[in-house]
Structure 1
Amino acid sequence: MAETRGGSSANLSDGNEVIERIRKGDQSVISAIYRQLRPEFLSWAAVRFRVDQDKIVDVFQESVIIFYRNVAKGKLTELNISVKTYLFAIGKNLLLKTIRDEKVQLDIDELPAETFKDWELEKVYEESHRKQLLSNALDALGPPCKQIILMFYYREFSMEAIQEQLEYRSEAVARTQKKRCMQYLREVLNTKDKKQ
């Protein structure tokens, strides 16, 4: 079996060969995976996710560890895709979870400060009178806007996850739609407030 340390590359397109090598105790294949895929993962993730470089490095390392453990524990016994595809899928899920958990650069800062001067979404939802007011306003917006606002602000989905779930053409289209929906929501709430 060829060593990867001497400069030759491991064949990472054959997932089953890589799994077999790991199961036989060939540690060099993990080093090869790390060395060969790390630069591409870092640049790919930096373009797709608004997460700092250190976090991306951590996620890549964790992805490699998860892959290794899945093979070592017998959870992953066959792989009909490349190791790169498998690792990038793990990394994508970890990054999306990171964005949800840490609320990385939420787009709420795109809205003018006065948007939340009179009402803040979380506070409104906690107050029974305002909760009903907001619920009625969301219903008045209709399904697309209601879904986007609830997914983003309450379920803490990333814009990428919203784009995929609601099948928008791109993340930019989803972002534009969210801004429009927030504008409509402000108008509906302001109208209802004036009537009170």
Structure 2
Amino acid sequence: MNKDQQWIRSLQNGHQEILGEIYLRYKRAFLDFAKRYPIETDEVLDIYQDSIIILYENIKQGKLNRLKSSIKTYLYAIGKYKIFAYLKAKPKDSEHLQTIEAVEEMTIFEINTAEEQLKRLQQAYRQLGPKCQEVLRLFYYQGKTIEDIKNTLSYESKDTVKSQKSRCLKQLKEIVRNNENR
């Protein structure tokens, strides 16, 4: 079970302190993300807090039991739609409308590009050997430390795990590049 699934289960079981952990973990990145939009920081904070509440309510209602993205991605999607709603509700002038249209076009492009990149990465990951898949899965997907991986996979030292992870990443990047050149 990955960290996001653990958080979801804990929140469903009434451990609300997890919500504070999620809030703090993604707050700074969300504020940085929101800088591209013409909104004051106080408004962005309100939107972020509303997004956290919606995330929590959706978890409690069981809507995230089969979450296909990360909690961070899901939270940002909520926040992005709340930002759009806020921008659309503001008094409109032609410059404001052009900004909203440009942001929406950019966002659609970013989403499509990110989805394409994720598909290429998943395809390349499946081409890796089982040892590399396991090391990368443990480190990136499950958030395990190098020490945890050393113990789980019975490596001799942390340096060996670091070297293996580095080789696997290099191999993954090479596969992605080769697949793009086809």
SS at match of 2:32: helix
User: Post-superposition shift, 1:96?
Assistant: 1.0
Q: Work out which of the residue numbers 26, 29, 33 in structure 2 matches 1:44.
A: 33
Q: Report if the CA contact (8 A) 1:23-1:71 is conserved.
A: yes
**C-alpha distance in structure 1 between counterparts of 2:77 and 2:92, whole Å:** 20
Q: 1:84 to 1:102 in 2, by over 3 A?
A: same
Code of the aligned partner of 1:24: N
SS at match of 1:86: helix
- Counterpart of 1:63 in structure 2 is 51
User: Post-superposition shift, 1:164?
Assistant: 5.4
User: Post-superposition shift, 1:106?
Assistant: 5.1
As a proportion of its length, which structure holds more helix? 2
Structure of higher RCO (CA pairs closer than 8 Å, 6+ residues apart): 2
Q: Report if the CA contact (8 A) 1:15-1:80 is conserved.
A: no
Q: 1:90 to 1:105 in 2, by over 3 A?
A: farther
Q: 1:22 to 1:106 in 2, by over 3 A?
A: farther
Q: 1:102 to 1:21 in 2, by over 3 A?
A: same
Report sequence identity in percent.
28
Q: 1:53 to 1:21 in 2, by over 3 A?
A: same
User: TM-score scaled to structure 1, two decimals?
Assistant: 0.49
Tell me, which stretches of 5 or more residues in structure 2 are unaligned? 110-182
Code of the aligned partner of 2:43: K
C-alpha RMSD of the superposition: 2.9
| TM-superposition CA deviations, 1:142-184 (whole Å, max 9, x none) | xxxxxxxxxx48xx9532114556x6xxxxxxxxxxxxxxxxx
Larger-Rg structure: 1
Tell me, which stretches of 5 or more residues in structure 1 are unaligned? 1-10, 109-151, 168-196
**C-alpha distance in structure 2 between counterparts of 1:55 and 1:42, whole Å:** 10
**C-alpha distance in structure 2 between counterparts of 1:73 and 1:79, whole Å:** 13
